[in-house]
Amino acid sequence: MYCASLILLFISIHTITVLAATVTYNWEVTWVWAAPDGFGRPLIGINNSWPCPIIEASIGDTVVVTLLNKLGNETTGIHFHGINQINSNGMDGAVGSSQCPLPPDYSITYSFTANEAGTYWYHSHNMGQYPDGFRGPLIIHNPDDPYLDDYDVDAILTVSDWYHDQSPTLIAKMLQPNNTKFEPPRPESILVNEGSDGHIPIQPAKTYRMRIINFSALTAAFVVFNALQMNIIMVDGTYVRKEAANQLRVLAAQRYDVLLTFDDSGLQNYPFLIALDTNTDYTATTAQPSVAFHTNFTGQLVNDPKGNLKGKSMVEEFYPQDDSLLIPFDEQPAFGPVVKQWVLNFDYCRDVNGYSRACFNDTTFIDQKVPTLYSVISLGSNNTEVSAYGQVGAFTIGYNEVLEIVINNHDSAIHPFHLHGHQFQIIERPKSNAGNWTGTRLIPATPIRRDTVAVFANSYAVLRIIANNPGVFLLHCHIEWHVEMGLTATLIEAPERLVNYQIPQDFIDICKAQGIPTDGNAAGNELWSDTEGFVTINPTSYVGALYYDDESSSSTLSSTLTSTSTPSSTSTVPYPTKSTNRPSKNQRNKRVGNWLE
């Protein structure tokens, strides 16, 4: 069933207990039928509903998600994007890296501590499933939020490009020798709040915290609230010094928390514009051919339901806020001194069979037999040998060492690069056509931190982390189609501290059920240097969760699925508002009511 009770305008302010709680979710991942843009198609949902539900907790809480795979013909898993997984690397949910795939009719339980407040999201990190619907918001509240007294209402605004074909079909067409231009799939439409009409109720004389999340598989989103000025207070889970902005460019996987203040002038509606980026490099001074995405969306912030709900938001030129200039609220200085540098050169490439791929340092990522984390745990003192992990672009760094990551983007488009396990500092990120990094000219005193960065066309970015989170973490472009093309590398952080890490038994059991070894090197060999059985050639066919009607080759809902009516739109307020009075500072040690869904 298509769930009309989404979580768009989901909250007001909640009082939060000091004592840590356990928030528990019991989910079945299932096929559902929905038409969020008017075109009906199979989607991956939760408990026979779509859109997928919100995960909501407070700092210090333990989040527990039990996931039962009822897809029938597809493995799956959940990655909690932006959650650093301190001491819980096995819960990162990156299939092939930190866990085995979850097969049909098996379940596993994810459990992690909500250690950092912010706006995050969850999604499948397996076989291109999140463009097919398996994604949702993840919100961690903070009773000591530095901006808690600056807003009255807390709301979520999600945006996504949307495809009418299922991901396996799109990927199979992309990964072909005849794709000479390495073209990704192009979306048919845009979704705002997973298919709502974009009417968000507001009240005068109130300030709203708008949590903006981009679920896209490909595109960035320009966000403009017409005459309303935004004040940025957080990016990707990092508090920032309040910064005014008229426009944002939110890349795939990025999040911005902004404040919007409405005056007390009475009934008035405010149009807002979300435009998916149609230019591979919007900063280019010379005209480039744009791709006809047809994906502009005008929504309404509604204070007068009987008034004009067709007002337009017109933008003549996009000049979004430069996020690299934001200042973190804690004003943490640049990490240093640098102990190691990891240089990654991104180019398109071809595999041995001539299929279109994407490469770091002339090598495309290939999944191995054993999840990399499981190999690290089992190889003892040899777990620093990167050749033990096969073609996953492995790089090691010791505990508490400062790592500098340089990404040279040799493409003519802007790419969003994401690192699991950290909010990295952006040390340098020049504009397009700066060429390769040859040396940092100026290190900012207090560089901004986030987990997904725009690396501009034919340019580079310099990032830094402190390796204080032992684990195996992927670094990849968050254009999902480029992940499928192999644009991923693997950071093995403080491997010396992972030797005694314990993988929960249910995670081991799903590996055994599929005949996947859980120790040894990439091929499951006891000797780390024994490369027999390593996967060295990319597959030439793609098998995924695709259903076909018996009488047509176009993807439809199989008779094995639970079919309900096909809605063409959702209600105007798909997420019910929760209203409570703002707690005073001396009341924030109490929880009032049950505000968790």
CATH superfamily of 153-325: Cupredoxins -  blue copper proteins (2.60.40.420)
Among 11-25, 106-120, 579-593, top mean pLDDT goes to 106-120
Residue 172 CA to residue 362 CA, distance in Å, equals 22
CA 159 to chain centre: 12
Q: Where are the domains of the chain?
A: 22-148+545-587, 153-325, 340-513
Model pTM score = 0.90
pLDDT of residue 546: 44
Question: Is the pLDDT confidence value at 2 over 50?
Answer: no
pLDDT of residue 298: 93
Q: Which helix (H) or strand (E) holds 314?
A: none
Predicted confidence band at 20 (pLDDT cuts at 50, 70, 90)? Answer: confident
**Chain position carrying tokens 């981009």:** 214
**Chain position carrying tokens 């991923």:** 488
Q: What is the DSSP letter of 328?
A: B
Our CA dihedral for 440, 441, 444, 449, rounded to 10 degrees, sits at -30
Question: Is the pLDDT confidence value at 286 over 50?
Answer: yes
pLDDT of residue 553: 32
Share in percent of the chain as helix, strand, coil (round to 5): 10, 35, 60
Which residues sit opposite 249 in a β-bridge?
222
> If you average pLDDT over residues 186-195, what whole number do you get?
95
Predicted confidence band at 294 (pLDDT cuts at 50, 70, 90)? Answer: low
Q: To the nearest whole number, what is the mean pLDDT of the chain?
A: 87
> If you average pLDDT over residues 167-180, what whole number do you get?
95
CB burial of residue 227 (10 Å; 0-12, 13-18, 19+): exposed
pLDDT of residue 280: 79
Q: Residue 410's closest CA among 344, 340, 480?
A: 344
pLDDT of residue 319: 82
Q: Is 196 left (phi over 0), alpha (psi -120 to 50) or beta?
A: beta
CATH superfamily of 22-148+545-587: Cupredoxins -  blue copper proteins (2.60.40.420)
CATH number of this structure's domain 340-513:
2.60.40.420
| Burial letters 172-197, b for 16+ CB under 10 A, else e | eebbeeebeebebbebebbbbbbbbb
Question: Is the pLDDT confidence value at 542 over 70?
Answer: no
Dihedral sign from CA coordinates of 483, 484, 487, 489: positive
Predicted confidence band at 544 (pLDDT cuts at 50, 70, 90)? Answer: low
Task: Judge if 153-325 and 340-513 fold alike in CATH terms.
Answer: yes
> If you average pLDDT over residues 166-170, what whole number do you get?
96
Q: Which helix (H) or strand (E) holds 453?
A: strand 452-455
Q: Residue 256's closest CA among 162, 155, 358, 389?
A: 155
Q: Residue 481's closest CA among 104, 168, 73?
A: 168
347 CB neighbour count, 10 Å cutoff: 16
Q: Specify whether the CB–CB gap between 159 and 217 falls below 8 A.
A: no
306-325 pLDDT, tens per residue? Answer: 998 888 877 777 888 899 99
Question: Is the pLDDT confidence value at 548 over 80?
Answer: no
318-345 pLDDT, tens per residue? Answer: 888 899 999 999 999 999 999 999 999 9
Q: How far is CA 66 from CA 27, 301, 504, 507, in A?
A: 6, 36, 13, 12
Residue 50 CA to residue 30 CA, distance in Å, equals 9
